[in-house]
Structure 1
């Protein structure tokens, strides 16, 4: 068996295009959604993410508001900025880029964001809405994973799903999304006994642990859908001294011989995160204005 490659880059491009069309329709009536991003400190990866988010926000026709703060900023100053963004009618979505410096309580900042503008889906109210099946904003990465899964298998009812990882950002919301699709879900983690055997029961396997190629080919049930959330940078001496390459949490070459469909790294889940952030911002803009949310989640 050779797996179908789930092209997250192509799906994300299509989703951004549909978002752009919906934003253009709003703008024609004088309503332009706005996304505010708060970046604290000089973390190189965070700077790259924020740059990409700002570029893609503008490309779909939204307003982008960037707020860059020094690593020495106080918690009170960040909270004051979040409060101003909550009150700003031009801002529909607020994203505070993580990680934050040690002097700042990350959870306190997340909880300060207006849940109606929490397009990252991290606020406890939105997490609770997901848990109870009430409409709210869903974390962008797991939402992107679900869209990719449904692009190859629209009906997930009755399937066994295993999520490796129990973070609040990916693992837990991913499990809840799969429950909402009527899957039977197991959350596996570092304390799980016989992890390999647990994974081999999965019709859908989502790996989100941050350990390079931990999931081997013989962990995969034949015909399973494999979603690799991992982004691990490792040395690549073949490309030259000091060069690196990206790999996932799944041994891709092995898994692709067993799975029915699989996401690559890079080019799988990664591009979906920003696309879903823009989707959530559009939804926030529509909800604030009492407008229906356009249908955006068609297959690629």
Structure 2
């Protein structure tokens, strides 16, 4: 990678639109074959405004892609057992092809137990242990949607991780860890950093590819960035601010994702793509399953 004074912006919004258009074509093909549309079931526990907004956004994208959307709102007092029963019911419903449990759930709910109630064949958000194992071993399964969106962004901008040094800041089970696994599967040399990483700025300065997924506004400073590096900002904080100090980093990076308009739209496009994938897999070769 070469030095640059102004980074190329990795436009996830435009890429996601073309991606959703291709998904819509595949959804229409599924409907022609089977007489029904792919169906994504969303489950929201409580009334967190941000989560409700995300669910509405996903429903709107479903309509654009020709995917049916079934929403199950649950009160904030819902217990883990009650939530698991709902998810198991959706898992058993042949009309539902994909299931999305909007996270985070209220603190009293065991989120991991709820995720594991999702049938792996319908885990289009890539949150189960089955999906993580499939990602780690390069087997058929579903990507965690944000990591999957990040890899598709890299591909669209001809960034090959093979032989490059990648630093992932964050180790959450739905972002940091799976994106590390996907980059490793692409032959990158991956360092996963977190709150106990000593001298984090020095670690980041080694990276050809930086993925910021720490959930702290403008945490990654511009002088941490190796000149010419690819910077993927997977954070979203109040005020449309990412995890990277954009105005500083854009002067050193070779490529960088904006916030908003970078990783976020790709996350939803992967969710829709994987819902259609799940529908085809469940229908089988004759379209009758």
Counterpart mapping for 1:17-96 below 5 A:
17-29=21-33, 30-96=35-101
Q: Which residue of 2 aligns with 1:223?
A: 228
Q: Which residue of 2 aligns with 1:255?
A: 249
Q: Which residue of 2 aligns with 1:239?
A: none
The one-character-per-residue Cα deviations of 1:20-55 (angstroms, maximum 9, x if unpaired) are 011111111224210000111111011101111111
1:154 Cα offset (Å): 4.2
Q: Which residue of 1 aligns with 2:143?
A: 138
- 2:46 and 2:217 map into 1 onto residues whose CA distance is 27
Match of 1:156 among 154, 161, 175: 161
Unaligned ranges ≥5, structure 1: 234-244, 292-300
Say whether residues 1:272 and 2:266 are aligned partners: yes
Say whether residues 1:201 and 2:195 are aligned partners: no
1:269 Cα offset (Å): 0.7
Q: Which residue of 2 aligns with 1:237?
A: none
Structure 1 runs, 4 residues or longer, greater than 4 Å off: none
Q: Which residue of 2 aligns with 1:296?
A: none
1:222 Cα offset (Å): 1.0
Aligned-residue Cα RMSD (Å) equals 1.2
- 2:216 and 2:75 map into 1 onto residues whose CA distance is 31
Q: Which residue of 2 aligns with 1:2?
A: 6
Unaligned ranges ≥5, structure 2: none
Give the TM-score, by structure 2 length.
0.94
- 1:101 and 1:250 map into 2 onto residues whose CA distance is 28
- 2:199 and 2:78 map into 1 onto residues whose CA distance is 45
1:149 Cα offset (Å): 1.5
Give the TM-score, by structure 1 length.
0.91
Say whether residues 1:285 and 2:282 are aligned partners: no
Any idea what SS the aligned residue of 1:161 has? strand
